[in-house]
Structure 1
Amino acid sequence: MRGLREPAVLDTLVSVRRTAMDLLARREHGRVELTRKLRQRGAELELIETALDRLAEEGLLSEARYLESFISYRARSGYGPLRIREDLSQRGLARADIERALSQCGFDWRAQLHEVWQRKFGQMPADARQRAQQGRYLTYRGYSMEMVSRLLSGRGLDD
């Protein structure tokens, strides 16, 4: 049973690499996130760096794949580019890499905004209070004030 097993001791390059590969097998990870998880499991930083360098050389650890996977997952979950950008920054990824990945993702943020709004609210706000409520929700989700204002004013997103 998982809860009764002693945690593996990460005191060799092989054990650090194996644990890193186990984590990568579950989902893509960024280097900073993987380093943090391995440190929490007791691995020494020098062993982590060596193992992650080798995994990157072998193509098993890829920041680009992690960015693509994270953006795709969060966008499909209804989050906008501003929120995704902030989440990735907090995970220690380089701003330039984040911007490049967001610009290359090919996601239609306007259509996504409309879909999120439709699913949550479905009708235009009847008064200023409802408009503010909808606006707060959509900006919290990571859509720009400009996009939200265009949507809620009824002007449409393509005008």
Structure 2
Amino acid sequence: MAFDQISLKGRALRLLAGREHSRAELQRKLSAHETEPGELAQALDELEAKGFINEQRVLESVLHRRSARLGASRVRQELQAKGLDPQAVAEAVAGLQGSEEARAREVWRKRFAAPPADAAERAKQMRFLLTRGFGAEVVRRVVRGVPLDDSEG
């Protein structure tokens, strides 16, 4: 059977074999292959009923894969792009906030061996962390080398 003749359900299963996908992602990726209206929705309904599509697993998968290297705002962006429930995304991101500074320190430590020597280096290090979705105040504290202290703020 040629790849062109694979059913929508088969295509969805092939995608799901690689990693967890949300229903919205599968809808977006497979809509071009739908030959009859409603065919894709029916296939996705069947897969969801059998537990192949599970939004909670998608959420946990993204958190597990990405939270060590990215800040809460970037993780939120990725989860929203997958079309997940906004309430579930908000709860997951709120759980990341407590470890934001520690995660930012670890990302910074792996990339830069020493504190910035001058303003240009400081800006470079700050940009690096900001583009990974860490908050501005956390980035300032990490790059300045202010020790992690639970009694503050």
Alignment match of 2:123 (pick from 94, 116, 132)? 132
Correspondence 1:131-150 to 2 at 5 A: 131-150=122-141
Q: Does 1:8 align with 2:30?
A: no
Check 1:55–1:105 CA distance in 2 against 1; reply closer, same or farther (3 A cut). Answer: farther
Q: Does 1:30 align with 2:26?
A: no
Alignment match of 1:89 (pick from 72, 80, 85)? 80
- Cα deviation for residue 55 of structure 1 reads 1.6
Alignment match of 2:43 (pick from 32, 47, 51)? 51
Whole-Å separation in 1 of the counterparts to 2:82 and 2:35: 20
For residues 37-88 of structure 1, what are the alpha-carbon distances to aligned partners after superposition, in whole Å with 9 as ceiling and x for unaligned?
2113345451111121222222211011001101211124x11111111122
8 Å contact kept, 1:89–1:95:
yes
Correspondence 1:109-128 to 2 at 5 A: 109-128=100-119
Whole-Å separation in 2 of the counterparts to 1:97 and 1:110: 22
8 Å contact kept, 1:83–1:141:
yes
% identity of equivalent residues: 37
Q: CA RMSD in A?
A: 2.3
Whole-Å separation in 2 of the counterparts to 1:106 and 1:58: 34
Whole-Å separation in 2 of the counterparts to 1:45 and 1:150: 54
Aligned length: 150
8 Å contact kept, 1:64–1:101:
no
User: Who is 2:67 aligned against?
Assistant: 75
For residues 96-117 of structure 1, what are the alpha-carbon distances to aligned partners after superposition, in whole Å with 9 as ceiling and x for unaligned?
2211223356983322211110
Could you list the runs of 5+ residues in structure 2 that have no partner in the other structure?
Answer: none
For residues 11-32 of structure 1, what are the alpha-carbon distances to aligned partners after superposition, in whole Å with 9 as ceiling and x for unaligned?
xxxx222221222122100111
TM-score with structure 2 setting the length: 0.84
